[in-house]
Amino acid sequence: PSADGSRSRRGEQEERPFGLTERELQVLHRVAVGATNREIAGALFMAEKTASVHVSRILAKLGVRSRTEAAAVAHRQGLVAEVAPTLGE
C-alpha cells in the first residue's frame, strides 16, 4: 500500500491468480462456461478480435494450449466459483 493506504495497480496485479488482469478474469469466466469469442465480445462490449487477444493471453498465463484446458484450470483453482456469469450477461 502507498502512504495513503491505497494499493498500486501493480500491487493489485501481483495478487491476482496467474497474474490475470480483471478483464482477463471476466473473459476467463465466459470461456469457462463455453462462450465463443463472439459471445464474449458481445457480453463485454469489445471487438471480437480483442476477445481473441484476451483469450490468447489467458492461455499463455495459465500455461495451457486450449480453451478447454483453461476452463479446467479455472474450475480447479476456483477462479470461476466467485462469479458465474451466464452467456446473457
Domains of the chain: 22-89 (1.10.10.10)
Q: What whole-number distance in Å separates Cα of residue 82 and Cα of residue 74?
A: 11
What whole-number distance in Å separates Cα of residue 11 and Cα of residue 15?
7
- pLDDT tens-digit profile of 4-32? 555 555 555 457 899 999 999 999 999 99
Structure confidence by residue, pLDDT tens digits, 23-59 = 999 999 999 999 999 999 999 999 999 999 999 999 9
The yes-or-no verdict on residue 86 having pLDDT over 60 is: no
The confidence score (pLDDT) of residue 84 equals: 47
Residue 9: per-residue pLDDT: 55
Taking the whole predicted model, whether its pTM rises above 0.85 is answered as no
Which phi and psi angles does 78 have, rounded to 5°? 75, 20
